[in-house]
Each structure stands twice: as structure tokens, then as C-alpha cells.
Amino acid sequence: MKIEVVAEKKNELLRRRELVLGVSDYKNTPSRKDMVAEVSARMGGKEACIVVETLRQEYGARRGTARVRIYDSEEALKNAEPKQKEKKQNETASEKK
């Protein structure tokens, strides 16, 4: 899977980086867990501090766009993200195990 940064913004107030990533060359649409692992490996940061907001695939193509947030700490993540989003992120991670 290839990942390239399309846009990056530093949000000092919420202590996070907001990224728009171009994702290509994958066989199946990557899961949130796969995206978190790949972003962690390439961009740095703990997997627990990364949230995949959206992953949109272009129709009929093996490429898409992902919106990702990388928080400075787990505390910043808990203060900024809604509980529902955190629950969804954890459920997807536990289903893959």
C-alpha cells in the first residue's frame, strides 16, 4: 500500500496533526486498523493516538483518500474525540484479532 500526504495541518488548540492522505496500490480496501498501523509506521506516533476519520475509495479504482488525525498524546485524543468515535475505533481493532 502506498501512502502520500496530500495536505497537512497542525491544530495547536486540539494538539493534533490533521492529514489528508492519498492511498493507492492495495488489493482490498484497507481496514481502519490497517490504516492506523501504516500511518504509525510512516508518519510516526503511537497507534493509540491515531484516528482514521474517513477512507473513501474511488469507484472502480484501487486508490482513495483518507482523513487521519494524529494526536500528541492519548489525553489529547480523549479530550477531543467523541466517545462514539473512540468506541468505533476500538471495536474495529478488536474484531480483527
CATH, residue 43: 3.30.70.330
Q: Which domain holds residue 75?
A: 2-95
Nine-digit cell at 53? 476519520
Total domains in the chain come to: 1
pTM of the model: 0.79
Residue-by-residue pLDDT tens, the chain, 97 positions: 889 999 999 999 999 999 999 998 888 888 888 899 999 998 888 888 899 999 898 888 888 999 999 999 888 888 888 765 555 565 555 555 4
Close Cβ partners of 15 (under 8 Å, ≥ 6 residues apart): 71, 72, 73, 76, 80
Helix (H, G, I), strand (E, B) or coil at 58: coil
